[in-house]
C-alpha cells in the first residue's frame, strides 16, 4: 500500500512540476507583453510563438528532475535541499530549452526578458507547488495515511533518541511498533514502545507486524551481527537503515583520492581551508552587520529590561569560552542569572528548572535571545555565525576525557548556532551526539550548509525546544 502511495505521489509531483513550468512561461509572457509593468518590447510576440518552449520544458523537466533525484521517495527531506535541487535542475532545464530551440529553429527569436522571467517564476512556482504537496502528504501521514511500521534494533540511548525524533516528526509517518535487542532489557517498554524480544526474532516480527522499515540502533553490534540481521530480512521487502555509532568515522567524511596513482582513503579532510575560509569570513561579516542593524531596537530593549528586572548586576555576562585551536575568548551574552549565581557551586551545567535564572532570563533562554550579543564576537573575529557551540574550559577538559575526538571541534571557530542545535541537540542533550554533528559539520562545510543552518535556527528559536 505504501509503495503504491509513493508511486501515486511521485506522479502527482511530476505533473505539478510540468504544470508549474508551463505556467511560468505563460505568466512571464503576460508580464512582458500584456501588463505594461515592464518597458515596452521592441517587437510584440503572439503567445503562439512560445508554445514550442512550453512543449520542450514539459519534456525536459521530468528528465532533468528525475536525473537529479527529485522524484526519489524520501520520508525525511530538507526543504532547503529541495530548493537548491529545484534551482539547479530548472536552471539546467531552461538553458537546455534555449539551446535546443535555437538549434531547431536556426534563429533564436524569443524575448530574452521573457525567458529570464520564466526562469525566476518557474523556480518559485515549482518550489511552492512542491512544498504544498509535501505539506499535504505530511498531514495525511500524521493522520495514518501512508504510514510505515518501524521495528528498532537496540534498547539504549540511540534507540531512545530515534523514538523521540520520530514522535517529534509525525509527518514522516513512522509508527514504532516494537524493539528487539541483542540483550533484552528488563523494562517491558522503552519510551512507550514495547520490547518484543531478541534479534533472532526479527524475521518473524517483520512478517507478523508487516514492518516496512528496520532501524538498527545498537552501536555494540559487530559487522557480522549486522549482516546476520540483514540476512534474516532477506525474505521480506523491508528497508534497512543503520544509525551509526557516534564514534565511527562518518560515511560522508570518507573519500577516495590518489597519491601518484596509489589509491588512498581520506578519513578526515577539513572543508574549511583556503578560499573557503575567506568565503565563510565574508558571510560572517555580512550577516553579523545586517543582524546588528536590524536587531538594534530589540537589543536596546532587552538591555533595558535586564537592568530593570535585575538591578543588582550588569547587563552583559562575559564568560571565558574555548574557541578556535583551543584558545579562550570572552563570549558575550545577556545576563540571564542572578548575580554571582555560581559563587557557591562552581561551574554547573544548566538544567530545565534552573533556580539560578531570573524570570526574564528564562524567557530569553527559551528563545535564545540571550545569545544575540555574540554577533559582536563574530564581528571581532572570535566566533562565526555557524559553528560548534563553545564550552567553558572546565567542561572541555571533562568532555575531552570521555568523548573521543571531542577536541577536533575546536579546529574551526565556535558558532552562535550549529548543525547540532537545529537537530534539537540543545540544553541537557547528549554530548556524544552533539560531537558527532559538530564533526560532520567541520568536515562537510559549504556556504549552502551555513545558509541552511541559519534558516533552520530561526525555526528552532521560535519553537524554543530544549533551550534553557
Residue-level pLDDT at 8? 85
> Of the candidates 310, 294, 429, 312, which has an alpha carbon nearest to the alpha carbon of residue 360?
310
Q: Can you give the pLDDT at residue 143?
A: 81
How many domains are there within the chain? 3
**Residue 256 belongs to a domain:** no
Residues 336, 453 share a domain: yes
Both 118 and 225 in one domain: the answer is no
Question: CA-CA distance, 197 to 200, in Å (whole number)?
Answer: 8
Is residue 166 within 8 Å of 150, Cβ to Cβ? yes
Q: How are beta strands 328-334 and 384-386 bridged, if at all?
A: unpaired
Provide the pLDDT for residue 314.
86
Q: Are residues 178 and 98 in the same domain?
A: no
- 214 and 360 in a common domain: no
Q: Rounded distance, CA 328 to CA 393, Å?
A: 8
Give the pLDDT of residue 126.
Answer: 95
* Residues 173 and 238 placed together within one structural domain of the fold: yes
Task: Give residues with Cβ within 8 angstroms of 112, minimum separation 6.
Answer: none
Give the predicted TM-score (pTM) of the model: 0.62
Tell me the average confidence (pLDDT) per consecutive run of 10 residues in the chain, 468 residues long. 76 93 91 72 70 90 90 75 89 89 72 85 94 88 83 85 84 87 80 86 88 84 82 80 59 46 50 78 94 93 90 86 92 86 62 74 86 94 94 89 84 91 78 86 86 87 64
Residue 238: inside a domain: yes
Which domain range does residue 350 map to? Answer: 275-463
Q: Are 300 and 448 contained in the same domain?
A: yes
Whole-angstrom Cα distance, residue 139 to residue 169?
A: 11
**E strands, 155-291, where?**
174-181, 189-190, 193-198, 213-216, 239-242, 255-259, 262-266
Q: How confident is the model at residue 247, as a pLDDT?
A: 45
In this structure, the number of other CB atoms found within 10 A of the CB of residue 259 comes to: 7
Residue 65 is predicted with a pLDDT of 92
Contact assessment for residue 319 and residue 392, using Cβ atoms and an 8 Å cutoff:
yes
In a domain, 205, yes or no: yes
* The pLDDT value given to residue 260: 41
- Residue 99 in grid coordinates: 539551446
Shared-domain flag, residues 454 and 325: yes
Determine the Cα–Cα distance for residues 455 and 282; give it in Å rounded to an integer. 18
| Residue 236, helix vs strand vs coil | coil
Strand, helix or coil for residue 146: coil
Amino acid at each position: 500500500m505504501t509503495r503504491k502511495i509513493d508511486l501515486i505521489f511521485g506522479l502527482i509531483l511530476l505533473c505539478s512540476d510540468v504544470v508549474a513550468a508551463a505556467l511560468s512561461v505563460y505568466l512571464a509572457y503576460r508580464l512582458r507583453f500584456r501588463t505594461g509593468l515592464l518597458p515596452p518590447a521592441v517587437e510584440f510576440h503572439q503567445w503562439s510563438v512560445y508554445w514550442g518552449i512550453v512543449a520542450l520544458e514539459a519534456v525536459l523537466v521530468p528528465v532533468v528532475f528525475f536525473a537529479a533525484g527529485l522524484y526519489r521517495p524520501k520520508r525525511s527531506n530538507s526543504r532547503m535541499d529541495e530548493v537548491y535541487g529545484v534551482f539547479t535542475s530548472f536552471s539546467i532545464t531552461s538553458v537546455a530549452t534555449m539551446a535546443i530551440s535555437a538549434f531547431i529553429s536556426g534563429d533564436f527569436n524569443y524575448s530574452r526578458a521573457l525567458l529570464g522571467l520564466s526562469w525566476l517564476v518557474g523556480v518559485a512556482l515549482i518550489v511552492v507547488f512542491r512544498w504544498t504537496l509535501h505539506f499535504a502528504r505530511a498531514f495525511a501521514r500524521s493522520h495514518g495515511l501512508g504510514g510505515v511500521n518501524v521495528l528498532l534494533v537496540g534498547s539504549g540511548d540511540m534507540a531512545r533518541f530515534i523514538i523521540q525524533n520520530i514522535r517529534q516528526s509525525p509527518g514522516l509517518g513512522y509508527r514504532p511498533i516494537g524493539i528487539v535487542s541483542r540483550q533484552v532489557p528488563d523494562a517491558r517498554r522503552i519510551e512507550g514502545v514495547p520490547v518484543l524480544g531478541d534479534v533472532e526474532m526479527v524475521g518473524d516480527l517483520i512478517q507478523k507486524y508487516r514492518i516496512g522499515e528496520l532501524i538498527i540502533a545498537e552501536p555494540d553490534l559487530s559487522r557480522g551481527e549486522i549482516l546476520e540481521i540483514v540476512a534474516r530480512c532477506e525474505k521480506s521487502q523491508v528497508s534497512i537503515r543503520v544509525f551509526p555509532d557516534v564514534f565511527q568515522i562518518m560515511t560522508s567524511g570518507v573519500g577516495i583520492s590518489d597519491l601518484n596513482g596509489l589509491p588512498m582513503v581520506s578519513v578526515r579532510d577539513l572543508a574549511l581551508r583556503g578560499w573557503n575560509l575567506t568565503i565563510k569570513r565574508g558571510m560572517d561579516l555580512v550577516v553579523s552587520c545586517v543582524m546588528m542593524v536590524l536587531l538594534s531596537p530589540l537589543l536596546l530593549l532587552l538591555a533595558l529590561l535586564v537592568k530593570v528586572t535585575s538591578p543588582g548586576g550588569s547587563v552583559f555576562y562575559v564568560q571565558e569560552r574555548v574557541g578556535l585551536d583551543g584558545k579562550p575568548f570572552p563570549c558575550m551574552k545577556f545576563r540571564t542569572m542572578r548575580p554571582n549565581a555560581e559563587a557557591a557551586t562552581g561551574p554547573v551545567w544548566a538544567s530545565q528548572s534552573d533556580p539560578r535564572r531570573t524570570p526574564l532570563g528564562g524567557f530569553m533562554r527559551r528563545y535564545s535571545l540571550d545569545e544575540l550579543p555574540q554577533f559582536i564576537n563574530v564581528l571581532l573575529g572570535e566566533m562565526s555565525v555557524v559553528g560548534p557551540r563553545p564550552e567553558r574550559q572546565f567542561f572541555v577538559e571533562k568532555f575531552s576525557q570521555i568523548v573521543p575526538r571531542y577536541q577536533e571541534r575546536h579546529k574551526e571557530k565556535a558558532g552562535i548556532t550549529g548543525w547540532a542545535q537545529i537537530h534539537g541537540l540543545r540544553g541537557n542533550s547528549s554530548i556524544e551526539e552533539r560531537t558527532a554533528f559538530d564533526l560532520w559539520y567541520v568536515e562537510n562545510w559549504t556556504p549552502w550548509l551555513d545558509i541552511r543552518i541559519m534558516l533552520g535556527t530561526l525555526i528552532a528559536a521560535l519553537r524554543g525546544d530544549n533551550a534553557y
